[in-house]
């Protein structure tokens, strides 16, 4: 088992934000949003295009400076962490990771930067973490290939391995299942669940595919005008958050024990 930072009291969320206001230019994308991401649990962010899923992830990762509000990692404000220590605990995956000419293994090894620092010297722990992450994502086969020569799905798995190699307490993933076919989507979902339940990691991912998102432990539901709600999937369905967020265009149905979405019977097309 990978080494983890000491367990936190269950009451303290691994990552939380309070009254977060984020915008670009005149546009305010997130207006006083407060969410909590508990450890040991996979949380999915869902919402229509433009509702600020990626923006929320980037703000939580400390990549955007909020106009107001605070983000706390393990109870401490993001700004109070030393850069390197923060990067050891908080890993982020971009929506479209770059097509670099480095080899797959070189890219995954960069996930260990926060642990090793400037000197490219890697110790045994680093190599073990890299191997584990590549095996878990099934990307070991391409270890020596240039990432730019891989297919979109293969590339996605290499970058996922890079994020896992950090062995962080909080994973922020922007559309980790994008570019993947259904079996591989299922692999990623299983991986995220294993990280959450097996290793106690707080996993937060924006997921476009609603049926996939409904297999998560918790949901954060965003709409164009702000946060609709956050809670377990059951709570979300009982309170009808999804239907609100998608302007009554969808229904969620129980099909043989799995939640599936379908177009609402009486849905009115957007103008």
Would you tell me which residues interact with other proteins (CB under 8 A)? 58, 61-63, 83-84, 86-88, 90-92, 94, 97-98, 100-103, 106-107, 110-111, 113-114, 118-120, 146, 148-149
Contact present, 264 and 244 (Cβ < 8 Å): no
Minimal distance in Å, beta carbon 229 to other proteins? 28
The span from the CA of 134 to the CA of 150, in Å, is: 15
**Residue number, 39 or 97, with CB nearest to other proteins:** 97
Minimal distance in Å, beta carbon 141 to other proteins? 17
**Residue ranges in 93-240 assigned as alpha helix (H):** 104-110, 113-116, 124-136, 152-165, 182-199, 210-213, 233-238
Q: Please choose, from the candidates 234, 266, 271, 230, the residue with its C-alpha nearest in 3D space to the C-alpha of residue 250.
A: 266
Minimal distance in Å, beta carbon 172 to other proteins? 8
92 φ/ψ angles, rounded to the nearest 5 degrees: -130, 135
**DSSP letter assigned to residue 251:** E
Q: Please choose, from the candidates 172, 181, 168, 152, the residue with its C-alpha nearest in 3D space to the C-alpha of residue 55.
A: 172
Minimal distance in Å, beta carbon 12 to other proteins? 23
**Residue number, 110 or 250, with CB nearest to other proteins:** 110
Minimal distance in Å, beta carbon 160 to other proteins? 13
Minimal distance in Å, beta carbon 263 to other proteins? 34
**Residue number, 35 or 114, with CB nearest to other proteins:** 114
**Residue number, 94 or 264, with CB nearest to other proteins:** 94
The span from the CA of 251 to the CA of 267, in Å, is: 9
**Residue number, 146 or 249, with CB nearest to other proteins:** 146
130 φ/ψ angles, rounded to the nearest 5 degrees: -65, -45
Beta bridge partners of 20: 33
**Residue number, 170 or 236, with CB nearest to other proteins:** 170
- Report how far apart the first and last C-alpha atoms of the chain are (Å, whole number): 53
């Amino acid at each position: 088992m990978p080494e983890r930072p000491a367990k936190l009291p269950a009451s303290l969320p691994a990552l939380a934000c309070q009254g977060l206001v984020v915008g670009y230019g005149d546009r305010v994308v997130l207006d006083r949003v407060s969410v909590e991401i508990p450890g040991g649990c996979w949380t999915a962010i869902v919402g229509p295009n433009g509702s600020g899923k990626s923006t929320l992830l980037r703000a939580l990762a400390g990549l955007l400076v909020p106009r107001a509000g605070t983000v706390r990692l393990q109870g401490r404000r993001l700004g109070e962490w030393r850069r390197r220590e923060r990067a050891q605990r908080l890993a982020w995956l971009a929506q479209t990771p770059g097509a670099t000419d480095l080899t797959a293994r070189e890219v995954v090894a960069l996930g260990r930067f926060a642990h090793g620092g400037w000197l490219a010297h890697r110790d045994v722990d680093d190599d073990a973490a890299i191997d584990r992450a590549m095996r878990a994502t099934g990307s070991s086969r391409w270890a020596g290939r240039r990432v730019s020569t891989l297919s979109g799905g293969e590339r996605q798995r290499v970058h996922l391995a890079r994020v896992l190699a950090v062995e962080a307490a909080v994973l922020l993933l922007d559309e980790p299942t994008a570019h993947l076919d259904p079996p591989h989507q299922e692999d990623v979902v299983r991986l995220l669940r294993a990280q959450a339940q097996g290793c106690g990691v707080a996993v937060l991912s924006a997921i476009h595919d609603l049926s996939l998102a409904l297999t998560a432990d918790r949901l954060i539901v965003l709409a164009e005008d702000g946060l609709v709600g956050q809670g377990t999937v059951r709570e979300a369905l009982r309170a009808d958050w999804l239907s609100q967020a998608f302007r009554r265009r969808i229904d969620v149905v129980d099909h043989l024990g799995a939640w599936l979405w379908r177009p609402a019977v009486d849905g009115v097309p957007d103008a």
